[in-house]
């Protein structure tokens, strides 16, 4: 389904951008093929959200050195999005408004936090803001976006995935992630 952002966003909705950080884009430490291609798409959604008074949320990995997701600690990823590093910054092309609520995750030494909802208090913030549905895009489709969408649905939020606003680490895993999200109740647009 192809939907124009300006016609899609309604009161009670929120726009969530997952981990659109430099390390996940070309040239980064854990670059996703064409990861930066999501930026123009997400910027259109940001513009539409601002025009309609819809809140914008953006998550970021903010890992300490020695994070358990890193290969040298037994995880499966190279070190990435180290707290306060250049690679952990949002991509400079992403036009996040000053009003965007930033959710920091991946800060624990004892576990990874792929989902924006994992021990961050984000669900409580959304309820306090009157948000009942989320439009979601970001990186990576088959890791943090997948975990976030599934948790959002478990928390009772309606979810619409902005398909052109996300990219997977692997195409096969991306297809599986889309299937899992749909089966759980997310709408893919």
Chain position carrying tokens 């990995």: 61
Nearest C-alpha neighbor of 136 from the set 189, 78, 64, 81: 189
Residue 159, strand partner residues: 134
CA distance 164 to 37: 9
19 is catalytic: yes
CA distance 109 to 126: 26
76 is catalytic: no
CA distance 3 to 100: 23
The Cα-based distances of 181 to 119, 125, 142, 174 in angstroms read 21, 23, 10, 11
From 19, 23, 36, 142, active-site residue: 19
Give the tokens for residue 66: 């020695």
From 105, 142, 151, 160, active-site residue: 105
* CA-based end-to-end distance of the chain: 5
From 81, 112, 142, 144, active-site residue: 144
105 is catalytic: yes
Known catalytic residues?
A: 19, 105, 144
């Amino acid at each position: 389904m192809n939907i124009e952002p300006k016609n899609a966003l309604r009161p009670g909705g929120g726009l969530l951008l997952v981990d659109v950080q430099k390390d996940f884009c070309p040239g980064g430490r854990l670059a996703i093929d064409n990861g930066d291609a999501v930026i123009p798409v997400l910027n259109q959604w940001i513009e539409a959200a601002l025009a309609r008074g819809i809140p914008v949320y953006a998550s970021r990995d903010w890992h300490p050195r020695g994070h358990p997701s890193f290969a040298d600690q037994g995880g499966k990823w190279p070190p990435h999005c180290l707290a306060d590093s250049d690679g952990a910054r949002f991509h400079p092309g992403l036009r996040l408004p000053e009003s965007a609520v930033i959710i920091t995750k991946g800060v624990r030494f004892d576990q990874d936090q792929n989902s924006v909802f994992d021990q961050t208090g984000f669900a409580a913030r959304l309820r306090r803001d009157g948000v009942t549905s989320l439009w979601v895009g970001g990186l990576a489709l088959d890791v943090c976006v997948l975990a976030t969408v599934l948790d959002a649905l478990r928390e009772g939020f309606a979810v619409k995935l902005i398909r052109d606003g996300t990219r997977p680490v692997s195409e096969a895993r991306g297809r599986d992630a889309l299937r899992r999200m749909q089966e759980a109740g997310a709408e893919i647009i």
